[in-house]
Structure 1
């Protein structure tokens, strides 16, 4: 009997496969070298800029420097919020611990007088949500953004400025 010959598929030989792998490896190494060079150049220029600012003196450095952002201040709302839902004939619960982040201590202290109003706004917002939506990360983020907008609106009405930069969920439990 004669041996049956299998037709060769172009590019399926081991020599061509090895050369293709070598080319890929060389390209990856070249890409890593470019990234390392850009990081080194950035570090070099930033380090030189800092040295130049220090050499120019403190007066010139303060004129060139951008305004420094104030430190974040956190106001934790205690106790945690607990709301209930009816989902498919079953009772479901949501427990959320909330912290308000602002940057102005005086304004945050003034906001403390309005905490009952803020808590009421958050309870109404949390209890009006769909339980199934809250189970997704997108639903949680949307709720956080709605809470931030609601608190900023209340602070604007009460104090004339939005005071709170972000509402943060420090604990989020669905049951």
Structure 2
């Protein structure tokens, strides 16, 4: 009878250990799938669903054509070389400014127009640059305002010299030195 009890105890241990192994394997598989799904989510494979109000939906419907155009055509960059250099008069602290500018557009034809009419654009930007107040350009707000003025100046040339109704999408400073 003692031998029979020992055998029964051994069978229960085997059943318990096989259940533990199965639970460990299933748990490992679930954990692995969760890690893979999280990695794919953070890489952008599974974008989050947007939950928003009807105002967002209306705004999205109005701008959907513009966003679709930008999404289908990524920004193309065009550096305006050589850098723009101008002198400041009347300020003993700052006498010289050198600015490197890169323009970006989703429409390659706009950048072709910028390249074609670069002498006119460079002239306008040099006049604009030399008319700036160095004290204002030292601030971040002054630089942003100046960036907007550059964008408008380029847009004006593109619209006047081509059949385009828009100018460049963005203007970036890739170098900005005042001495």
TM-score range, shorter chain: 0.5 to 0.7
- Counterpart for residue 175 of structure 2: 171
Q: How does 1:55-134 map to 2 (within 5 A)?
A: 67=68, 69=71, 70-89=73-92, 92-134=95-137
Query: Structure 2 unaligned runs (5+)?
Result: 1-45, 51-66
Q: 2 CA distance for matches of 1:125 and 1:45? A: 44
Quickly say closer, same or farther: Cα 1:73–1:45, change in 2 above 3 A: closer
Q: Counterparts of 1:77 and 1:124 in 2: how far apart (Å)? A: 16
User: TM-score with structure 1 length normalisation?
Assistant: 0.59
Shift of residue 168 of structure 1? Answer: 1.1
Alpha-carbon distance in 2 for matches of 1:45, 1:111: 38
In the alignment, the residues of structure 1 paired with residue 150 and residue 109 of structure 2 have an alpha-carbon distance, to the nearest angstrom, of: 22
Residues 37-79 of structure 1, C-alpha deviations (whole Å, 9 max, x = no match)? xxxxxx89629xxxxxxxxxxxxxxxxxx73521101110111
Partners of 1:132 and 1:157 in 2: how far apart?
32
Q: Secondary structure of the residue that 2:88 maps to in structure 1?
A: strand
Partners of 1:45 and 1:95 in 2: how far apart? 43
Give structure 1 regions of 4+ aligned residues with deviation exceeding 3 angstroms. Answer: 87-91
TM-score (ref. length: structure 2) = 0.58
CA RMSD of aligned residues (A): 2.3
Gaps of 5+ in 1: 1-42, 48-65
- Higher normalized strand content (fraction of residues): 1
In 1, the alpha carbon distance for the partners of 2:49 and 2:117 equals: 45
Q: CA deviation at 1:151?
A: 0.7
Contact 1:144 1:168 in 2 (8 A): yes
Q: Distance in 1 between matches of 2:117 and 2:167?
A: 12
Name the count of aligned residue pairs. Answer: 115
Name 1:136's counterpart in structure 2: 139
